[in-house]
Chain A
Amino acid sequence: MNESKSNQKESQNKDMETIIGYTLRTGVIVSVSLAIIDLILIFISGNINYQTGSYKNTFAFITTTFSHLSFLSLLFIPIIILIATPVIRVLMSIFLFLKDKDYILSITTLMVFIILLISIFIVA
């Protein structure tokens, strides 16, 4: 009885690790592929003069960069996908740990997620 219970838990954990691993891999592959396309575009355009500017907050950055689809917004897309990958991974982990009924770990992960949200929307 105990044996089968622990086996069941083991298999759930395995699923969870597969899903998290898959999320990470997908995020990286999509981002790096888009980055390679961007690199080719940069070579074709032959222009690398860009002065970075600072923005008031994340909303200001997104609205300025993506208000119209410019060359620069194309360049920022793979970078944003990549930075968002660990954040999405943490968000998914909360639900996966909840499904596993591991409440302490869910709360821990939720705290990490909240800190990440603070870094994205409040501090920056």
Chain B
Amino acid sequence: MLLFYFGIIIFSILAGVIGALVGIGGGIVIIPILILIFHINIKIAIGASIVSVIATSSSAASVYLKDKIINIKVGMLLEIATTIGAITGAEIMGILNTKILLFIFVFVLLISLLPLLKNRDKELDENVKNDNIANYLKLSSSYYDKLQNKKITYNVTNIPGGFVIMYIAGLISGLLGIGSGVFKVLALDDVMKLPMKVSTTTSNMMIGVTAAASAFIYLINGYINPYIAIPVMIGVFIGSYYGTKLIGKTSNVYLKKIFILVILVIAIEMILRAMNIL
């Protein structure tokens, strides 16, 4: 029992460090580990993950709020979509059987790798125009970019499109117990054309609130087992804390390549598990 527990803590710390370094989040990394190595039921793994997601998102958001990069208005508006999505997702998760959940998880895991292959250091599109909703709600804003040493002013477009993607992001979060930051950034950055830094920090602020909407449903339905959730939450929290401090000190390109390879192996293992071959 001691070994089992130490194992969960060590792997949770590792998942937190890697999740923070690669920028994919700790939840999506710890779930396959809990399933494949510790033979924990996927729904209990999902319940433990959502608790760790709230811990890391809340502590990260408290730091970003100080830097004033987050666009609180855009975040709050879209949280309407993500929380409704999260409720839908958590309810569907309760109905689905383990096998289908495993397949969906692998599918989302593989999609989440795509942004890692893309170069994110692109220039801000200067020609973005506010749409009517953004004008009415005065969503355009600005932030101070420390690297470029200047104030960057930006507009916000395609709110309806962003709303739809955010609903899906919330649904995935509630269905699989992950932060689904990848999908939130997709909505903010690619659909609504916010600057990358604003997208990632605003997404992080939204993750905790979205996760809370599904966490209570998990709790009542009995998917949060405190004996598993507590060591996972502590481990991922500590891991993410140190992972965030390591950013910039390690070679990211090399790390991302190894990470993609490891995830591919995990994906194959999970599919074999779902098909009862493993």
Contact = CB atoms under 8 A, between A and B. Distances in A.
Contacts of B209: 86-87, 89-90, 112, 116
Contact of B230 (A22, A38, A57, A124): A38
Given A39-B230, A115-B80, A86 B58 contact: yes
Contacts of B54: 82-83, 85-86
Contacts of A28: 55, 58-59, 62, 237
Interface string B50-72: 01001101110111011010001
Nearest to B83: A115
Nearest to A58: B220
A25 B72 CA distance: 18
B267 interface: no
Interface stretch (B24-32, B97-105, B178-186, B210-218): B210-218
Nearest to B67: A17
A63 interface: no
Contacts of A90: 79, 209
A24 B219 contact: no
Interface string B79-120: 110011011001100000000000000000000000000000
Given A112-B83, A115-B213, A54 B227 contact: no
Contacts of B229: 79
A18 B44 CA distance: 35
A115 B230 contact: no
Q: Is the interface of A mostly helix, strand, loop or mixed?
A: helix
Most A CB contacts (10 A, CB to CB) among B44, B62, B227 go to: B62
A104 B137 contact: yes
Contacts of B51: 79, 82-83
A115 B87 CA distance: 9
B83 A116 contact: yes
A1 interface: no
B29 to A, nearest CB: 19
B34 interface: no
B79 A112 contact: yes
Interface residues of B, number: 55
B152 to A, nearest CB: 17
Contacts of B221: 54-55, 124
B230 A42 contact: yes
Interface in B201-242: 208-209, 211-217, 219-227, 229-231, 233-234, 237
Interface string A112-124: 1001101110011
A93 B233 contact: no
B1 interface: yes
Contacts of B237: 28, 32
Contact of A21 (B62, B214, B233): B62
B212 A25 contact: no
Contacts of B234: 32, 35-36, 39
Interface of A: 17-18, 20-22, 24-25, 27-28, 31-32, 35-36, 38-39, 42-43, 46, 48, 50, 52-55, 57-58, 60-61, 72, 75-76, 78-80, 82-87, 89-90, 93, 104-105, 108-109, 111-112, 115-116, 118-120, 123-124
13 contacts: A20-B65, A25-B59, A28-B55, A28-B58, A32-B237, A53-B222, A75-B226, A82-B54, A82-B58, A82-B233, A83-B216, A104-B137, A120-B216
Given A35-B233, A86-B212, A105-B73, 15 more contacts: A21-B61, A28-B237, A48-B1, A50-B226, A55-B221, A60-B220, A79-B229, A82-B233, A83-B216, A90-B209, A112-B79, A119-B213, A120-B216, A123-B90, A123-B217
